[in-house]
């Protein structure tokens, strides 16, 4: 595990960006049609996953 941590610390990759930077680069600023569609789709996906997980939990009980 220590080797992995050292490898990450010493990485020379300068292409690392935050999720927000990635979304702005690929989908535009907040408020644009493309970005709003992404955000709506993401919220819908999260709601589906939460609902699905709660249904699975009920079946196991």
The DSSP string of 15-55 is ----HHHHHHHHH-STTSHHHHHHHHHHHHHHHHHHHHHHH
Residue 35: what pLDDT? 95
Question: What digits encode the pLDDT tens for the residues 11-55?
Answer: 776 678 899 999 999 999 999 999 999 999 999 999 999 999 998
32 vs 61: which has the higher pLDDT? 32
In a domain, 4, yes or no: no
Higher pLDDT pick, 58 / 50: 50
Residue 5 lies in a domain: no
Token code pair at residue 48? 């589906």
Number of domains in the chain: 1
User: Which phi and psi (to 5°) does residue 29 adopt?
Assistant: -70, 160
Instruction: Let me know if residue 9 belongs to a domain.
Output: no
pTM: 0.56
**Does residue 8 belong to any structural domain of this protein?**
no
Whether the pLDDT of residue 5 is over 70: the answer is yes
Cβ atoms of 35 and 28 closer than 8 Å:
yes
Q: Which domain holds residue 37?
A: 17-60
Q: Is residue 3 part of a domain?
A: no
Asked if residue 30 belongs to a domain, the reply is yes
The answer to whether position 1 is within a domain reads no
Residue 38 lies in a domain: yes
């Amino acid at each position: 595990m220590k080797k992995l941590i050292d490898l990450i610390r010493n990485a020379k990759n300068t292409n690392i960006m935050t999720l927000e930077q990635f979304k702005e680069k690929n989908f535009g600023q907040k408020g644009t049609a493309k970005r709003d569609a992404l955000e709506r789709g993401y919220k819908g996906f999260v709601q589906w996953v939460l609902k699905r997980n709660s249904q699975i939990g009920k079946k196991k009980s």
